[in-house]
Structure 1
């Protein structure tokens, strides 16, 4: 009986020590924040923002980069620090503003709100803006491969990362502009088969109508026929 009692006491002490050590490690590690990169998309660590697909009167917009915490929720808002990686960026300060970021109270998620501004230079030059999460006092940066994000800013059409060759064929600015005009879509992430087929068919119909009205083949900026699979 005494042996059994000593064994129970020993196990209890070991469990208490283990819990204390775990709590201490958790406290020392602190809560961390990282950029959430959706593995279901192909552009989860960067984005291209083009004013060319926006209304002419739009002079600024806000990109919201999703972030999450590693740790426990807290009943108060927690500040998230992030900054531009100067050595890797060529964006001008006239083209962006880093807005305040935080993890709301009782939440695991938040956003890094980056405001982008339209300027004349963007008509001919694409700027790059690398940002990185830093220590805010409330939250420390998470793992190294999930604390940086690349934003490209321009005001001319470029091939979106979500372009689907199997539905739309070879990319061209003329074809992309046609799809925007006919369907309003500027990105194709998360779309189902029926939506993608609708977009492609709308493009085909628009090309056929144009060619019937003009008695000629529609050509893109490279002099190649605009065709859909």
Structure 2
């Protein structure tokens, strides 16, 4: 079994979900007392968010690159960034280490294509929806990517940062997000990417007739495939 290097803390709720799902997955696949071999570097979400708001992306890249080097030095065979928004600097992180970085957008795009879907909606943080770094990476796989109207970005961002990162899951917010999924369906999306770990705490496939692609679940599955190959 290979050792998975996790870069987490963005948010810690997200990292906890990665850790739990990785170990559950190993138990299901291997059985017995098996658990995932993991090295975790957990960063300060408040510090990174402040740097993001100041658009100090070189400093963000430096912090994440240092974390990646630390998990490589600790024996990780590849790196998983437990975040969507901070994939903004994924290429810089990949350049900082000699082990692979398992890019979330590549994993999600492959899952969409495997189901024959070529037009997807994307839900995530306001930053991820309004910038091109993640959407363009999805599109590089031949996908047409749609995001909600800009007027809806702030409310989705509020749900993520004011509620979900604190473990608060509200039915009213679930209805809001399901409404956005329906809007993307009407706009021509054949499926919707839940591009934020916290959204997977709120919305599940049973809430939508449209195929949902939970990015964290897919990321974990790809990490397990690599680690156990």
TM-score scaled by structure 2? 0.26
**Which of the pair has the greater relative contact order for Cα pairs under 8 Å at 6+ separation?**
2
Greater percentage in helix: 2
Greater percentage in strand: 1
TM-score scaled by structure 1? 0.26
